[in-house]
A = this chain, B = another copy of it.
Amino acid sequence: MVTRLSREARRDQLLALGREQVTRTSFDDLSLEEVATEAGISRGLLFHYFPTRRDFVIAIARQARDELLTVTDTDESLDPLTRLRIGLAAYVDHIAAHPDAYTSLLRGAAGGDDEMQAIADGGRQQLAERIIRGIGLDPVTVAPIVVVAIRGWFALVEEAAMSWLRDPDAIDRDDLLGLFERSLGAIATQVGNDDAARLGAAILGSA
């Protein structure tokens, strides 16, 4: 029996089923047939919402990216160091709960598909700007080397997080979080800005 849903509600339901499947397996193993069956609709109707498999994958990836940005967001009234710690812990715990989806998002994003890459790059840029604002700087007027340094730090976080996901027993979660925090602190002390240097010193001093 086909449950009748509004167009918007149906689209959300299909995305939720797709994401749930990607979380269990990976983007490569996503079965549109299975999503349609679970939603109790025909494959043809699914294509009415997402004309190609790629459209569906991209919509799922964008939602996954936005969720990562949401779960790592923190209360602006907290001090920068507390926000950093809460955000990093949320990031590590979120990807640990969805390791395959996260790995295939990053691998797909870094691969040949320009739109997947734009999704991941947009997420990195938003995270970098959030951190830059968090240390009291303006992402628009700050020196380009600062943005490059913060984006570089986030590449370090992604690479180390991927290593950790491959072999979680080799490294303690808290050691990993400590490395992320201290390496940002170390970089912040080096970018040649007083506000950043103060945060860097605060991070390193409290480690």
Chain A residues engaging chain B, CB cutoff 8 angstroms: 28, 106-108, 110-112, 117, 144-145, 148-149, 151-160, 163-164, 167, 170-172, 175-176, 179, 182-183, 186-187, 189-191, 207
Chain A binding site: helix, strand, loop or mixed by DSSP? helix
Find out whether the CB atom of B183 lies under 8 angstroms from the CB atom of A152. yes
Known: A111-B107, A145-B179. A156 touches B152 (CB 8 A): yes
In Å, the complex CA distance between A172 and B171 comes to: 36
In Å, the complex CA distance between A182 and B149 comes to: 11
Query: Which residue of chain B lies nearest to A153 when distances are taken between CB atoms in the complex?
Result: B156
**A201–chain B nearest beta-carbon distance, Å:** 12
Which among B112, B152, B171, B175 is the interface contact of A179 at CB below 8 angstroms? Answer: B152
Contacts of A207 in B (CB 8 A): 190
Query: Which residue of chain B lies nearest to A154 when distances are taken between CB atoms in the complex?
Result: B159
Contacts of A154 in B (CB 8 A): 159
Find out whether the CB atom of B176 lies under 8 angstroms from the CB atom of A182. no
Contacts of A186 in B (CB 8 A): 183, 186-187, 189-190
Which among B108, B158, B183 is the interface contact of A187 at CB below 8 angstroms? Answer: B183
Find out whether the CB atom of A145 lies under 8 angstroms from the CB atom of B189. no
Find out whether the CB atom of B108 lies under 8 angstroms from the CB atom of A149. no
Find out whether the CB atom of B111 lies under 8 angstroms from the CB atom of A149. no
